[in-house]
């Protein structure tokens, strides 16, 4: 799909004096901004991240994508939680400076979404009014547990979990239980047959473009409702 919007490169200052790169993609009159963090294995320019940003812009929502420091440096080992949390906080602050009074939601893909939720639970994201997770990584593959969800009870803003029903990093019954235990603060949208990357097999009768459209429609609808309240 040809991009309709031009991504604006930005530099995000961190509290330790270093910087990371970011990309802002916005429609002419956005109704909100989604601060979108990448997963552990691929940065902000990955095809999924680019398609998500483009798709959100088409749905009236701006995005700020950004790199974690390890990805900026070309490394493979993820940053310490404290460093990741500080980066999330800096990215949300940058979005607030750029988009002013617009409602800001934060989150992202897998690792990026989990680091965002931890930062919010620690009180580091005062400008964020909600969190959107594109595949929350509840546990390592083959090791079902809910220990990674403990901090979610400390999150004080609404949360949307968009989860593939074939996600090996989030056992379906366990993620349903986690979200249900968070009460009215959390909503789950289940994407049939999708794995952690929102990929589906051809035999399901669906394709990845259809799945991505469902993911982004779900996110945009939820953000629009949140922005209107």
Helix (H) or strand (E) holding 19: strand 19-25
**149 lies in which domain range?**
8-228
> Which pLDDT score, from 0 to 100, does residue 100 have?
87
16 assigned to some structural domain: yes
Mean pLDDT of 38-46: 96
Three-state secondary structure call for residue 175: helix
pLDDT of residue 225 exceeding 60: yes
> Which pLDDT score, from 0 to 100, does residue 197 have?
95
> Which pLDDT score, from 0 to 100, does residue 1 have?
52
pLDDT averaged over the chain?
96
1 assigned to some structural domain: no
CATH code where residue 183 lies: 3.40.50.1820
> Which pLDDT score, from 0 to 100, does residue 12 have?
98
Residue 3: pLDDT band by 50, 70, 90 thresholds? low
pLDDT for 58-104, tens place per residue?
999 999 999 999 999 999 999 999 999 999 999 999 999 999 889 99
- The tally of domains found in the chain comes to 1
Q: Which residues have CB under 8 Å from 78's CB, separation 6+? A: 40, 68, 70, 84, 111
pLDDT for 145-195, tens place per residue?
999 999 999 999 999 999 999 999 999 999 999 999 999 999 999 999 999
Give DSSP secondary structure letters for 42-75. S-TTSHHHHHHHHHHHHTTEEEEEE--HHHHTT-
163 assigned to some structural domain: yes
2 assigned to some structural domain: no
3 assigned to some structural domain: no
Mean pLDDT of 42-46: 96
């Amino acid at each position: 799909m040809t991009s309709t919007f031009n991504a604006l490169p930005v530099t995000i200052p961190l509290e330790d004096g270093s910087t990371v790169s970011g990309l802002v993609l916005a429609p002419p009159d956005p109704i909100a901004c989604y601060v979108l963090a990448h997963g552990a294995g691929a940065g902000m320019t990955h095809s999924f991240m680019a398609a998500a940003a483009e798709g959100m812009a088409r749905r009236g929502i701006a995005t700020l994508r950004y790199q974690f420091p390890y990805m900026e440096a070309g490394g493979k080992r993820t940053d310490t939680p404290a460093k990741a949390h500080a980066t999330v906080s800096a990215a949300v602050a940058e979005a607030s400076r750029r988009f002013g009074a617009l409602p800001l939601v934060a989150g992202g893909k897998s690792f990026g979404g989990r680091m965002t939720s931890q930062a919010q639970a620690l009180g580091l994201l005062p400008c964020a009014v909600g969190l959107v997770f594109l595949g929350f990584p509840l546990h390592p593959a083959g090791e079902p547990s809910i220990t990674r969800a403990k901090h979610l009870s400390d999150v004080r803003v609404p949360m949307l979990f968009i989860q593939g029903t074939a996600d090996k990093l989030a056992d379906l019954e366990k993620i349903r239980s986690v979200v249900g235990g968070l009460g009215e603060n959390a909503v789950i949208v289940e994407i049939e047959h999708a794995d952690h990357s929102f990929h589906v097999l051809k035999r399901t009768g669906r394709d990845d473009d259809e799945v991505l459209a469902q993911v982004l429609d779900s996110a945009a609808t939820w953000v629009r409702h949140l922005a209107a309240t």
